[in-house]
Chain A
Amino acid sequence: MSKKDRELENFVERRPIADAPGIQRVLRRLASEIVEKEDGVEDLVLVGIRTGGVHLADRMAKLIGEIEGQEVPQGQVDITLYRDDVLRGLPRPEIGPTSLPFRLSKKKVVLIDDVLYTGRTIRAALDAINDYGRPRRVRLAVLIDRGHRELPIQADYVGLRVDTEQNQSVKVELAERGMTDRIVLYELQAEEGEQS
């Protein structure tokens, strides 16, 4: 069970945001947007943020490969050690693998995550990538932008923009994690305490 799953124990389902075909359509659109704006796939690499962004990066790489007929290198970053609340907010001792199997210099990186919220995860991911090299540029693609930013960070490619409240949570459920593809809006049950 991931941290997000556990947090969801006190949440009730509010409404579905997208189903499987919906997710597929959004990803296809993002893939063509990326190919267009990045001028093809030369020097392009996709980096998924663990854990939510990694499967999306896989799917995106396939879709881009279909459009361009060329494989796009992929990597993943785990941001645990770069979190600004690593020592306070650590629920349990777990770190995932980081793997960037290519030289970053001159690369056009597209960072991929499932939900953009406070922006703190992206800040941490940028710091992590920086420790591996100096890419030509980094752009951000997210499936969902749910607002409530706490840092000056914006996405370059956005699948869906969803209006949310602070007491809500957006969850991207994917087949790769043993679920049916869908995006759901959850809400914290009233009697429970505040949730960050």
Chain B
Amino acid sequence: MAASTSEPRFNQRHLLDMSSLDAEEITTILDLADRFFEISERPIKKVPTLRGQTVVNLFMEPSTRTRISFEVAEKRLSADTINFSASTSSTKKGETLLDTVKNLEAMSPQILVMRHSEPGAAHFVAKRVNAAVVNAGDGAHAHPTQALLDCATIRKVKGKIKGLEIAIVGDIDHSRVARSDIIALRKLGANVRVAGPKTMIPPGLAELTGATVCHKLGEAVEGADVVMMLRIQAERQGGACLFPSTREYSRTFGLDSDVLSMSKDDAIVMHPGPMNRGVEITPEVADGPRSVILYQVTYGVAVRMAVLYLLAGKPPVE
């Protein structure tokens, strides 16, 4: 645990990606998340901190767990929440993203949580609004709160992050979770190995992030402290044929008990969801004693409370 004597620091107006944060700021969020986690264990799971603050959840791409997680976090902080999703909105009627956002801004929200299928959408909006923007996923680019909740879960269960061997397996190229996780975990001093079909590993990944690229699952899992499985992002592959068949993928890169036994004895298994049981992970592993998948969901609320708390009520910085 980071029981540092120096003052915790956080100098961000928005939360857009993990590249913008330094290790100290990430640690500030994780420390706060540990405190907010306690609120979920109280008889009354609510604090009055964001009373009178308005948070808009703008989801222009389907999402269940992230949207609900943000909503629970906002309600537990007593914020007023407004939900706006693409399926029910005027985007279907041809309104541009900027027009939608400007209209929402006229209701003076303090925080705008947004998900969009275009990489960079949150950055685009953040430059043009007064509200603090939280990126809840923009295409294959970034998903910072997922990376933060993964870090918080690992730190809670393993007691540290620095020096851990962390395997991330699956569709690395199309996964904003993988991208944000690798950046965050490297900043906190973990050793990251990635594995997946060659067609799903972005070129230059090792040079850019310091992660080790493995092309065999066993190589990545052997001796690992954490094994993080990812879903194949079929919707972002643009119809390209990146692997022969689901069955073959599952045989080569699916995590079952046999492969998992190559990891450390106390290794944990993670998955950001939604899971494809029987494809990237077998039900035995997903529901097994090593799995912390549901713990990730619980920690997600605490991490999002920490982020909202840090961004609320901050004046715009020059």
Interface residues of A (CB under 8 A from B): 1, 78, 81-82, 86-88, 90, 92-98, 127, 130-133
Contact = CB atoms under 8 A, between A and B. Distances in A.
A79 B11 CA distance: 23
B32 A132 contact: no
B8 A131 contact: no
B312 A93 contact: no
Contacts of B36: 95
A87 B9 CA distance: 16
* 3 cross-chain pairs, A with B, having the tightest CB-CB distances, nearest first: A87-B313, A131-B44, A81-B47
B42 A132 contact: yes
Q: Is the interface of B mostly helix, strand, loop or mixed?
A: loop
Interface string B37-52: 0100011101111100
A86 B51 CA distance: 10
Contacts of A87: 49-50, 53, 312-313
B249 interface: no
B28 interface: yes
A131 B310 CA distance: 22
B235 interface: no
A81 B49 contact: yes
B84 interface: no
B318 interface: no
A93 B46 contact: no
B48 A92 contact: no
A98 to B, nearest CB: 7
Contact of A94 (B7, B44, B48, B53): B7
A158 to B, nearest CB: 29
Nearest to A105: B43
Given A1-B7, A86-B313, A132-B43, 10 more contacts: A81-B47, A81-B48, A81-B309, A88-B313, A92-B9, A95-B32, A95-B35, A97-B35, A131-B46, A131-B47
A98 B39 CA distance: 9
16 contacts: A82-B48, A82-B49, A87-B50, A88-B313, A90-B313, A92-B9, A93-B8, A93-B32, A93-B310, A95-B35, A95-B36, A97-B35, A97-B38, A131-B44, A132-B43, A132-B44
